[in-house]
Structure 1
Amino acid sequence: MLQQILRDMYVDPEILAELDEDQKQTLFCKMREEQVRRWKAWNDKLCEDTIKSNAKNSNKKSVEFMKGSDGEPWVWVMGEHEDDKSIEEILREEAAEKARQLAEKETEKIREEMRKEMKAQLISDYVDLSPKIEFPPQKYEIETDMDIYCSVEEIQAKIHSKPRNLNNYSLNYYPVKNNNKFSFNDAANIPEEVTNTQKVAQRVALWEKKFLSDKTCEIFQKIQKKQQEAAKEAEEEEIKKDQLWREQERKAKQADQQKREIARRARQEHKLNSEFQLDTSYTTVNSGVPPGRTAVLEWYRNKERERSAGLDPSNNVMPWFHGLITRQESEKLLLSQPCGTFLVRLSERIWGYAISYRAKDKCKHYLVSAVPKYMFVGNNQMEHETLGDMINFHHTQPLTGGETLQYPCPRGFPAAIEELFQEK
């Protein structure tokens, strides 16, 4: 059974359930030893195969790099040698070669057509310069004296009855105007020297040489123009990319500067928080933190209005109560006031209030918990039944730093008071 388990590396759950802990431990050790043995055998076989493979590969061809004077692989960099062509020269030669090849292809396409046209031109030239027979003045000898006395009709009869001697005729060549009619169907009657193949070939060769030269120049100029346009487009695209990159860099720097500014303000605010407290015990915040501005307003309407927090006996708002304003807004109001000026505002950090005080060279802020009674946040603080009692107490009794609450700060945000008393 053990040999079968080690061979299959599998234990039936029913068999395993019948074994005690010592037997299970022994079986586990045996299976682990078998795993290690198999792994070593596999690793040895893998090493033997690798050695054999390396031995076979050692007989194969290999590549060796030519060494330079410094013993390192010799490297040739295009354009560094004095005999190397510049990239502009290489591009010019490639454009010229491409233009020549394209011109040859185009010339080859129309060569046969030009050969036919040259042959037709030779025939046309022959027709326009064909010989015309010009008869010389007719001279007739008077055979007898009796001819003098012949009538006109008799003399004409003698002329027509006498045969003409063609040897006396002369051939004069002169061009004939285009109204002379000739059909190319009569080309078979044209002399062979007119339609001589060699003559046609010579004309075609002259035409081909001139056409090839002109066409090569034309194509080369087009290729150069395209290259210049492509280079101009690439330059413009590079300028656009550079401008885009600069804009992105500017935005990144601006965003980084904004992050730095936010971090600087956070550090400064943290520093002010630590400096503006007269007593470190006042900085301890209750564990219950309002979830937001709306929750603070609802808390005041439902709880604190019943306790007349910030209100006088006639339910009028106390001059020092400013509602729910921020720390920055309170400092903005206090900085223009004399030392000793203070205000009370709702806090979003705890279920309570904050007293902001204008000190000699800065503003100070104190957190006031409203649960269950009114007192500064911290340990062993004096409790007051109402918020007004706490403010009246510190009119005469100084805070930890020796300051007393002397002058209520005029309101600068009346909307903050109005929203506290809006109907639901």
Structure 2
Amino acid sequence: MWCQCLSASVLADFEEFSLKHRKMLQQILNDMWVDPEILAELDESQKQILFCKMREEQVRRWKIWDAANPPKPARPSRSKKKVDFLLDARGEPWTWVMGEHQNDKSIEEILEEEAREAARRLAEAERLAELLEQNKRQREEIEVAQQKLDAEEIYCSADELRINAKPVINNIPPIQNFLKRDALQEISFNKPSNVSQKVALWEKRVVEERTSEIYKKLQKIKLDAAKEAEEAENKQEPFWREQQKKAKEEELRRREIARIAREEHRRSMQEIEPETPALPPRKEVVSSSKPPNKDAIVEWFKTSQVIRRAGLDPNTNSVAPWFHGLITRQEAENLLNLQPAGSFLVRVSERIWGYAISYRDIDRCKHYLIDASNDHYQFLGTNQISHKTLGDLVTYHATRPITEAGGELLGRACHRTKPLPLVFQGLSIRAR
């Protein structure tokens, strides 16, 4: 469905493509997906142009979907629950900004009070633990002494008890003395004890000292953590700045490539090349957008390309030194890695019905696909110059770069390691 309703503006930019090429573009825009193997054969400028067209198609589809599916009004809530805000004298929501009132504490004071309170609770907990431990030790000592006393009483004989027995002294005071002392005791019990006060003050002073000690320790830990965080941040700062610098440089590089691709596309739209003939209408359509296997590629080459002298030297009937026949991308790169920058070779592509030029650049190998499905030879992309023969295309780009951004000139041919390519075997063609 999407393939049938593609926007006319998108396909108009590819009006000079062959029927086979337009069909491939329609399939890409229909699926919104590109085969990674085909994408790897495109250079950076061709990728930018293809991505721009896919983005235009994506926006067009979104507008159609948005027009067909207008936003629905929100349904009113049937729930009776609601939230009412407290209003001030002016009818506005009542707000309270901390720190504006004269009695409000600053955030530093609040944090300090919280830290001191936490230190106090910790000190009290430690003091309570000490008292419990001390009480436990005292009970253990009492139990040991009681057990020792019980053991002595068991071995004490009756005679020893009689000898050690002492007369019982009547310590019961007279009644009048008892009444007098009871009144004095009642008076003394109602008065606070100086010893108890001293013990309480001593306990309070110990807790306060421990609280102050814990508070200082917590503050020191907090300052040390802040200092370590600052040192770690200072160590990471140069690394982060270097990463940011590299990211900006990469972004600028990509923008420059995209800008050059757009300028090249715009310039190619405005220029009228004398070597660009009008493409004749296609009489037959290849059934598959991608060759099914190598045998089909060899059959296609022998039946439709040999008669057009593809891969042959224009002046002789021998195979051109730059033509390597049906080899893989990796084999082409292995050959070019042994050659200087500027070397190139032409091979039969396994991805499309056409060819691929493998070019040795300064830092890497580049690959450019050539469409040969419309009885002409041209690079994939918008408004590419078409040539009658494959040799004319190679000769033309010996003086004109393939892309303005890269400046690739086909000046030095990479010779074959085998005398005759596989696609020419069995034919009356000699190797050069």
TM-score category, normalised to shorter length: 0.3 to 0.5
TM-score for both structures, normalised by structure 1 = 0.37
Q: State the structure with more CA Rg.
A: 1
Greater RCO, CA 8 A, separation 6+: 2
TM-score for both structures, normalised by structure 2 = 0.37
